[in-house]
Structure 1
Amino acid sequence: MTNPSTAIRFPCASCGGPMVFDAGSQHLKCQYCASEQPIDDVMNEPVEHPLDDRDEDLDSLRDWGTEQQAIHCEACGGETLIPAGQTTSTCVFCGSPKVLLQEQFRSIRPESVIPFQLSRDEAQRSFAAWKKKRWFLPNEFKKMNVSSQLNGIYIPYWTYDTDTYSVYSAEVGVYHYRTVTRTRVVNGKTETYTTTERYTVWHSTRGDYDRSFDDILIPASGHYDEDLLEKLGDFRLRELHAYKPEYLSGYISELYNVTRDEGWERAKREADHTLDAEIKRRIGGDEIRNLRIRTSYDHVTYKHLLLPVWNANYHYKARTFYYMVNGQTGTVSGHVPRSAAKITLFTLFCLGLAGLVIWFLMSNPEFFS
């Protein structure tokens, strides 16, 4: 809820009160009289910008549509944007009061945004359903209603498009099978038996491979680790809207910490990983060794996106835990307390099961024949 004393970016036409973006109606909604105002949403195709833009070209991309100010948290290092003239006393990430106003920032504005589609209450219900499905949680925690303060935050991302051309070479191994005769001792007697033996025939191969990538999604957050965001990242990018400052009204935007060029290096690693897997499938065979791939990247473009996340922390037995809820899909990612007793019982069960398997195999040597 916006504090009435803070700066009003979008005043209500009926009463002059602050209007914030409402996830339910997808309109601006007055916090005083509940009047709604639709947002002009022209669904143009988001613009892809060339990665090799010059610095002077980037100057035209720094206008966020409303005056913004950057806030830095000394405790966790989180950096967010809030409207100029608005005040805040705590960090939306960790709750620390050690927040400082930054003198200035030079940030590329987002090209596109996915507006919040889940309300705060819906996000809390998503977390409650998610934690009930977690293993190894204390029973008490599973049943309790967790009290947490959720903050709506737009997390920065980069997306990259590129055409690739790869040339590759490798050795391919194909399995073949033959029947061989062997001997073994059973009850003190030597007997002869036949079995099937596998061997590998190797040959060289080479070729080329064309592939285009669309919207390689790279988190640009400086606060969350990539693994946490990856679990949260099932955003439907086909529902992107052209950026409008109205979508940010009532919410906080995190300032990107991963630069455009750093994001591209990460995107290339993802593309390389995909190309490696796809080229291996094309090569076929049963084994591949000495695979070498050389790839060129052309027509590289990027977009800066803001994607919606409900961020929260809660306390359980004097410890603080964090979780996030995808503000579009309701997917949950986070940390929860663990039950030492449940983990111990599960470990003992696995050890017992492994022991039974070993006993069975040792008692039945013919199983290996």
Structure 2
Amino acid sequence: MSQQPPPLPPHDADEPIFLEETSFEEGGERIDDEKGRIFPCEGCGADLVFHIKTQSLKCSHCGFEKAIGFSEDESVDEQDFYGMLAHLQELREQQSDEEGQNQQEVQCESCGATLMFVDTVTSSECPYCASPIQLEKAHTSDKRVPVDAVLPFQIEQEVARQNLRSWVKSLWFAPNEFVEKGAEGTFHGVYLPYFTFDSMTSTHYRGQRGEHYYVTVGTGKNRRQVRRTRWYPASGAFQRFFDDVVILASRGLKRQLIRELEPFPMHLLVPFRHALLAGFTARTYDVELEDGFLLGKERIDAALYSDVCRRIGGDTQRVDSIQSQYDAITYKHLLLPLWLMTYKYKDKLYQVAVNAATGEVHGERPYSWVKILFASLAAAVVVIGGLALSNR
């Protein structure tokens, strides 16, 4: 059983208790031989959690608030990509088998239960007394890529739910019952790990520019215009700088679904603080830094291909070769906020996510095949009618 908090000091029942607005850097208390961290309220001993509206820690029991402080000289800086890869390789060569295990135990300070943090989960709550607990060094250990910054939750759960309702009502070809009832489920606030990459690219390309022209062929009723293409050689070189190419560093979610929530407002990033995670689930990365850059490189290469096609010009293009060099590669390791929900409709599970910084919604949804069928039939009638009129 959880411990009962001490009696509250006397105060006006309509007024929350506010203690001094002290700076709150790492804060909280380390527990279980410094393996975990909790955030007890200084007013009543209950738990502090991150309060989205005030962007501070707040006690839901007595109303006590505490600011999360940042020093003026702190900044969110780019990190040396190759330097970190060398550091990680050195650590891997020194690492013992025990250090590589993917689960850790932490004893809850409130009720004494033992929590098992498995795989990438680093911040959660005790299943017995609901106290928020974090692994102490999961995001700051020098044996992994440390977190550089956090984008705190900006969108409250009720706002996320309202946005979800609007999203459901905007869906085409959705079953009427689904539109009326909406997606029913529980939102979970989660910080997911991301890498962002910067790089200066230098690209050389060769290809062909196609320009269309038309000729008349046939005679009589078979006389018609036919499009043909003249091809001209094209080549060139250019440079382009890529800033903050965002890559999800977690394998447990559908990457394309989460990608649709971008962009994130990176100007709201703040230096990492454990306090920002209090009350939310957080995960560490399971996509390694080097693999993350390979995923980022795919996005960079796609953008460079589009650049090459624009530079070749014409009506159509053939790209024979693209050779790109990537220099000045830097990265940031970030925790970005999402509201996640799994809901059921007609015995099938669907996932939906809300960007907890912008409110953008994207997810899986059911379709009404009856609506799709009628829409297809209507489109076919329009096409047939148009052909009939043109042949008169």
Short-chain TM bin: 0.7 to 0.9
Determine if contact 2:57/2:67 at 8 Å carries over to the other structure. Answer: yes
Q: Secondary structure of 2:38's match?
A: coil
TM-score (norm 1): 0.79
Deviation at 1:145, TM superposition (A): 5.6
Structure 1 contact 15–33 (Cα < 8 Å) conserved: yes
Which amino acid in structure 2 is aligned with residue 87 of structure 1?
C
Give the corresponding residue for 1:307.
Answer: 336
Q: 1:13 to 1:277 in 2, by over 3 A?
A: same
SS of structure 1 residue aligned to 2:63: coil
Match of 2:147 in 1: 110
What is aligned with 1:124?
A: 161
Looking at structure 2, the residues matched to 250 and 320 of structure 1 have their Cα atoms a distance apart, in angstroms, of 26
Cα drift, residue 200 of structure 1 = 3.2
* Whole-angstrom distance in 1 between the partners of 2:116 and 2:144: 10
Write the letter of the residue equivalent to 1:278: D
Q: 1: distance between equivalents of 2:235 and 2:3?
A: 65
Aligned partner of 1:80 among 106, 121, 126: 121
Change in CA separation of 1:10 and 1:282 when aligned onto 2, cut-off 3 Å: same
Conserved? CA contact 1:162–1:297, under 8 Å: yes
Match of 1:162 in 2: 199
| Whole-Å separation in 1 of the counterparts to 2:3 and 2:329 | 43
Assess, with a 3 A threshold, how the Cα gap between structure 1 residues 353 and 17 changes in structure 2: closer, same or farther. same
Match of 2:57 among 13, 24, 28: 28
Verify the 8 A CA contact 1:70 1:82 in the aligned structure 2.
no
For the structure 1 residues 221 and 55, does the alpha-carbon distance in structure 2 shift closer, same or farther, using more than 3 Å as the test? closer
Residue 166 of structure 1 and its aligned partner are, at CA, apart by 0.8
Aligned-pair CA distance for 1:232: 1.4
Q: Mean alpha-carbon deviation: is it higher for 313-322 or for 131-140?
A: 313-322
Match of residue 275 from structure 1: 304
Work out the CA distance in 2 between the residues paired with 1:329 and 1:54: 31
Q: Choose which of 77, 82, 85 in structure 2 pairs with 1:47.
A: 77
Partner of 1:324: 353
Contact 2:160–2:354, Cα closer than 8 Å, also in 1: yes
Conservation of the 8 A alpha-carbon contact between 2:208 and 2:312: no
Change (3 A) 1:139 1:197: closer
2:193 counterpart of 1:133: no
Q: Is the 8 A contact 2:217 2:226 kept in 1?
A: no
Q: 1:318 to 1:181 in 2, by over 3 A?
A: closer
Please show how residues 1-369 of structure 1 align to structure 2 within 5 Å: 9-42=38-71, 44-54=74-84, 57-58=87-88, 71-72=117-118, 79-82=120-123, 87-88=126-127, 107-144=144-181, 146-176=183-213, 180=216, 183-185=219-221, 198-361=227-390, 363=391
Which stretch has the larger CA shift, 337-346 or 230-239?
337-346
Q: What letter corresponds to residue 162 of structure 1 in structure 2?
A: S
For the Cα contact (< 8 Å) 2:194–2:336, is it kept in 1?
A: yes
DSSP-derived class of the 2:83 partner:
coil
SS at 2:323's partner residue? strand
Shift of 1:4: 8.1
> What SS class does the counterpart of residue 235 from structure 1 fall into?
coil
CA gap 1:174/1:338 in 2 versus in 1, 3 angstroms: closer
- The 1-side partners of 2:51 and 2:369 are apart by 42
Alpha-carbon distance between aligned partners in 2 of 1:56 and 1:273, rounded to the nearest angstrom: 28
Q: 1:357 to 1:38 in 2, by over 3 A?
A: same
Say whether the 8 Å CA contact 2:196–2:246 is kept in structure 1. yes
Deviations 1:308-359 (A, max 9, x none): 0011122334333321111111111112232232222222223323333444
The normalised TM-score by structure 2 is 0.75
SS, match of residue 53 in structure 1: helix
Q: Which amino acid aligns with 1:165?
A: S
**Greater mean alpha carbon deviation, residues 8-17 or residues 324-333:** 8-17
**CA RMSD for the aligned pairs?**
3.2
**Helix, strand or coil at the partner of 2:219:** strand
CA distance in 2, matches of 1:332, 1:245: 27
**Aligned-partner Cα distance in 1 for 2:230–2:327:** 37
Query: Would you say the 8 A contact 1:171–1:288 is kept in 2?
Result: yes
Q: Deviation of residue 267 (structure 1)?
A: 0.9
Task: Provide the C-alpha distance between the structure 1 equivalents of 2:201 and 2:52, rounded to a whole number of angstroms.
Answer: 39
In 2: Cα distance, 1:8 partner to 1:290 partner:
55
Q: Cα–Cα, structure 1 residues 145 and 162, in superposed 2: closer, same or farther, change >3 Å?
A: closer
Percent of paired sites with the same residue: 30
Per-residue deviation, 1:262: 0.9
Which string of whole-angstrom CA distances, capped at 9 and with x for unpartnered residues, describes residues 61-114 of structure 1? xxxxxx988733xxxxx742126xx5348xxxxxxxxxxx9xx99642321111
**Unaligned 5+ runs, structure 2:** 6-30, 92-104, 107-114, 129-134
